[in-house]
Chains A and B, each alone.
Chain A
Amino acid sequence: DQQVKQNSPSLSVQEGRISILNCDYTNSMFDYFLWYKKYPAEGPTFLISISSIKDKNEDGRFTVFLNKSAKHLSLHIVPSQPGDSAVYFCAGCSNDYKLSFGAGTTVTVRA
């Protein structure tokens, strides 16, 4: 039962441009959404989160947008840098504290 879906397995973007990663969810009980970033041979690391009472959260080059009515969130990276090349996981969390992750989107930033 995939409660979180990342329909784009990969994304290639030129350095300096915007990266937009999309995520859809089905569980209406999710009240927190998070993005994790993973480099090869490393564990995922927390990137940014958003509460369901907000529609936008910004942290430096990273901004997450939430559209509750569409059950959709997106991560914007502006400007994209080579070090941003990684796998990005979207996750939803409800009050049972279990995170449900998507399958991930591999971002490649081209020089």
Chain B
Amino acid sequence: DSGVTQTPKHLITATGQRVTLRCSPRSGDLSVYWYQQSLDQGLQFLIQYYNGEERAKGNILERFSAQQFPDLHSELNLSSLELGDSALYFCASSPGLAGRTGELFFGEGSRLTVL
């Protein structure tokens, strides 16, 4: 158990819909990262927040948005969903900006299926 909690674990929805994925980081961790893993693809970095502020952005679509709240939990909002958005979405947390030293702790992921 990494201490990172993601909900929901599974989600099935239709094209054009909007969903929200939620992440609670490990206690004390200030950074939250979102990654997308599509079939046969590596983990694609989407976005990072540090203590409520957006810190780094990756290949995140404009239809996607995220935020980190004062209690440090984070939400990833996916709108106007397309079939290609079906993927496993991982949240990770770290005490600081510590990705370089491997101190990223991943949740179990939220599997999104768009029909």
Does chain A have a CB within 8 A of B109? yes
What's the interface size class on B, roughly? 20 to 34
B102 contact set on A, CB distance < 8 A:
34, 46, 48-49
Is the beta-carbon distance between B41 and A96 smaller than 8 angstroms?
Answer: no
Does chain B have a CB within 8 A of A2? yes
What's the interface size class on A, roughly? 20 to 34
Is the beta-carbon distance between B42 and A42 smaller than 8 angstroms?
Answer: no
A95 contact set on B, CB distance < 8 A:
100
Is the beta-carbon distance between B42 and A4 smaller than 8 angstroms?
Answer: yes
Is the beta-carbon distance between B42 and A93 smaller than 8 angstroms?
Answer: no
Is the beta-carbon distance between B108 and A93 smaller than 8 angstroms?
Answer: no
B103 contact set on A, CB distance < 8 A:
46
Q: Which residues of B contact A (CB under 8 A)?
A: 2, 4, 33, 35, 40-45, 48, 55-56, 58, 90, 92, 97-109
